[in-house]
Homo-oligomer: A and B are copies of this chain.
Amino acid sequence: MKRIADSTVRRLSMYLRYLEDLDTRGQQTASSDELAHLCGTTPAQVRKDLSFFGSFGKRGLGYPVHELTAHLREILGLQREWKVLIIGAGKIGAALANYRGFRQRGFTVAGVYDNDPHKVGQPWGEAIVRPMDALEADLNRDDAPIAVLAIPAEGAQAVVDRLVKAGVRAILNFAPTQITVPPHVNLKSVNMAMELEGLSFALTNPGYLDEGAA
């Protein structure tokens, strides 16, 4: 089984988004060229990405939109519902909990946790903020394999260790700090300050960069 690059998975995700659009508009087929234009990549890249998982297209015609949508959903593991735990009932946590984009893709918020006694027990969107103490018991009862970490950097590693020990195998981290996890746990970090600093670098050193793409 070949290793799939992270960049490939991100593109699959993007293909899916645009295929869903085309599908709801009733379009039957889409060529690699059309998909590439929609997603800001190249036709060869689209074909190569898809070819890792099978032959979904018809030569001369393109890819069947509806079928390919289903295939991509399966490849990405989106046929099922994923329960998501949000750790940290702060501003970022609040934005994420209400984010429509997650629910649309089958991610449902199974619980929100915080260690601030003033927040615990408060209603929070459709949920009620739960105490950190409840974490382990809740996980046994109803295991939520994806955790979103939205707490300050200081406590982040300790909470991650606890999540891992409790059986969580995927973590999306928003705290701006380096987190380490054992090899069987999947970790992704989003660091917004880093993105802004990338822009600062590009503006400051125009000579070092070529394109304005992203």
Please list the residues of chain A having a beta carbon within 8 angstroms of any beta carbon in chain B: 1-4, 6, 9-10, 12-14, 16-18, 38-40, 75-78, 82, 84, 91-92, 94-96, 98-99, 101-102, 104-105, 107, 145-146, 169-173, 176-205, 207-214
Q: Is A211's CB under 8 angstroms from B199's CB?
A: no
Complex contact A211–B183 (CB within 8 A): yes
Residues of B within 8 A of A91 (CB): 94-95, 98-99
Whether B190 contacts A195 by the Cβ 8 Å rule is yes
Which of chain B's residues has its CB closest to A189's CB?
Answer: B214
**Least Cβ distance of A73 to chain B in Å?**
10
A213 touches B196 (CB 8 A): no
In-complex Cβ contact of A13 among B4, B105, B188, B193 (8 A)? B193
Chain B hits for A191, CB < 8 A: 13
**CA–CA, A91 to B178, complex, Å?**
26
Bound complex: CA of A89 vs CA of B180, how far in Å?
Answer: 34
Q: A16 — which chain B residues lie within 8 A by C-beta?
A: 197
Q: How far is the CB of A141 from chain B (nearest CB, A)?
A: 20
A-B CB contact pairs (8 Å), 22 listed: A1-B207, A4-B201, A9-B197, A13-B197, A13-B198, A16-B197, A17-B176, A40-B178, A75-B204, A77-B204, A78-B197, A94-B95, A95-B95, A102-B193, A104-B193, A146-B196, A169-B203, A182-B212, A186-B203, A187-B214, A188-B195, A189-B214
Contacts of A10 in B (CB 8 A): 194, 198
Closest Cβ–Cβ distance, residue A94 to chain B (whole Å): 7
- Are A205 and B102 CB-contacts (below 8 A) given A3-B210, A193-B13, A212-B182? no
A208:B170 contact, CB within 8 angstroms: no
**Chain B min CB distance to A181 (Å):** 5
Contact of A178 among B38, B102, B104, B183 (CB under 8 A): B38
Inter-chain contact B186/A14, CB cutoff 8 Å: no
Are B207 and A186 neighbours in the complex by a CB distance under 8 Å?
Answer: no
Please give, as numbers and ranges, the residues of chain B lying within 8 Å of A212 by CB-CB distance. 181-187
